[in-house]
Structure 1
Amino acid sequence: MIIGSGLIANSLKNIDSEDMLYFASGVSNSLETRDSEFEREFSLLKQCIEEYDGKKLVYFSTLSIYDQSKQDSHYVLHKQELENYIKNNVEAYLILRVGNIVGNGGNPNTLFNFLKNQISSNNTFVLHKKARRLLIDIDDIAKFLAHNCTEIHNQTINLAFPYYYDLKEIIDAVEKQINKNAAYNEVDEGDFYKVSFDENIDRFFSEITPPEYINALAKKYI
């Protein structure tokens, strides 16, 4: 059973199962501040847990929980609250804290979509030299679940390709695919947060290198 209709929900269609409850609905905008939006997701989650009692719940959270600059944001506090509720009220679950998703469609303001649009349009943008990003191909979410979901019980997993890309590495890959040079001004700013990846993630991505992964993303989605 898949709950939701967005990018993640659509990516799960090939692994849909009567034994699983994939909760991929709710607040997707990390800048959201309206209480009503967060309450809607929480109410739907509670309803689904009750209605589909006995199914294993897969909940999609965010790596932004580790970002110290976002500890007081409505979005992060909301995700933490739902994670805690699941841990205390669901018998069988898997919580995935997901990195920066790269895929077709979705939020046009995500990093990959932003860079693609800026470079294609010959716009000048600001590059934060110290920033790093953890990326994940939307298709890898379903692939990871297909291989690991039944084996991982009541855990919280950090899900992203386990490499911290600096923005120039990402821009280089986009430039090559578009065959255009980016126009940007560098500033000595930006930050990133360290997260730990367990052996399931290391094993899942063991056969691909960081340059191969970012170039594959650019070729696939640009």
Structure 2
Amino acid sequence: MVLGSGLIARAFNSFLHDDRVLVFASGVSNSSSATPADYAREKELLLAQEGISARLVYFSTCSLHDPTLHAAGYIRHKRLMEGLIREQFADHLIIRLPNVVGHTPNPYTLTNFLRDRIMAGEPFHVQAKACRYLMDVDTVALGCPPMMTRPEYRGTTIDACLDKPVPVPQLVKAMEQLLNRQAVTTEIEAGSCYHVDNTAFKQAWSAHAGLPWPGPDQWVDVLRKYYGGASGTE
């Protein structure tokens, strides 16, 4: 069963009619400007699932580890949701995702935001010290399902990301090259390049995915895959 209709929900369409799992992928779509009402809706929808016999699979964020975002509303909300799940759903799996890249009309994903600002020639700030973990939605769809039904992952929280974060200034440069446009940016001394321990996810990938672990520069190929034609919206 799948709750949601966005990029993450579509990645798990294979679970639509699987009553062993409830994929909760109906969260806040704009982490930077969500309102208290947006957070309340997600919380109410979550609590409405109490008593289900299926395993609840909830998607949180690796940004919980970013010290510069500790007090951000979105991060506080995610911590609250994780706590509720641990208290109310004995059979659960919390998967913390990085910035996921894929075809989506959502203008609030990191890479769609960058594409739109660059293509429109609109100025934006770049945090000089910031890094972001990126992952292809197809990689998410390959790496997560084995954990979603196996008993050993019951009641666990998994940070699902690749090994190396991408410095945001480097990410902007890569997008400029793909789009053949120069970004109008102001670099500010801010941000954090934090580490996420992905050991559990790598172990699950090695045991169940049956594919080589993605290399450190895979993010470049992922950007080319989705933005080589300046789209990312299909």
The TM-score bracket by the shorter chain reads 0.7 to 0.9
SS at match of 2:23: strand
Note the alpha carbon deviations across 1:71-101, whole angstroms, 9 max, x for none. Answer: 3333222221221111122121110111112
Partner of 1:5: 5
Partner of 1:221: 226
Partner of 1:208: 214
Question: Offset at 1:46?
Answer: 1.5
Question: Offset at 1:167?
Answer: 2.2
Aligned AA (2:56): L
Paired with 1:80 and 1:129, the residues of 2 have a C-alpha distance of 27
Note the alpha carbon deviations across 1:140-181, whole angstroms, 9 max, x for none. Answer: 222122233223221111122221111243234323433445
Question: Offset at 1:109?
Answer: 3.3
Note the alpha carbon deviations across 1:127-150, whole angstroms, 9 max, x for none. Answer: 332111111222222212223322
Question: Offset at 1:63?
Answer: 1.9
The number of residues matched between the two structures is 219
Partner of 2:135: 136
Q: Percent identity?
A: 32
Note the alpha carbon deviations across 1:175-211, whole angstroms, 9 max, x for none. Answer: 3433445454444433233221124336638532222
Q: Is the 8 A contact 1:6 1:106 kept in 2?
A: no
Q: Is the 8 A contact 2:22 2:54 kept in 1?
A: yes
Matches within 5 A, 1:174-213: 174-201=175-202, 204=205, 206-211=212-217, 213=218
Question: Offset at 1:122?
Answer: 4.4
Q: Is the 8 A contact 1:175 1:181 kept in 2?
A: yes
Kindly report the root-mean-square deviation, in angstroms, between the aligned alpha carbons of the 2 structures: 2.4
Paired with 1:89 and 1:200, the residues of 2 have a C-alpha distance of 24
Question: Offset at 1:106?
Answer: 4.6
Matches within 5 A, 1:55-74: 55-74=54-73
Q: Which moved more, 1:58-67 or 1:23-32?
A: 23-32
Paired with 1:82 and 1:191, the residues of 2 have a C-alpha distance of 24
Partner of 1:91: 90
Q: 1:127 to 1:202 in 2, by over 3 A?
A: farther
Partner of 1:100: 99
Paired with 2:76 and 2:184, the residues of 1 have a C-alpha distance of 36
TM-score by length of 1: 0.85
The answer to whether 1:28 aligns with 2:33 is: no
Partner of 1:150: 149
SS at match of 1:58: strand
Paired with 1:26 and 1:199, the residues of 2 have a C-alpha distance of 24
Paired with 2:101 and 2:44, the residues of 1 have a C-alpha distance of 28
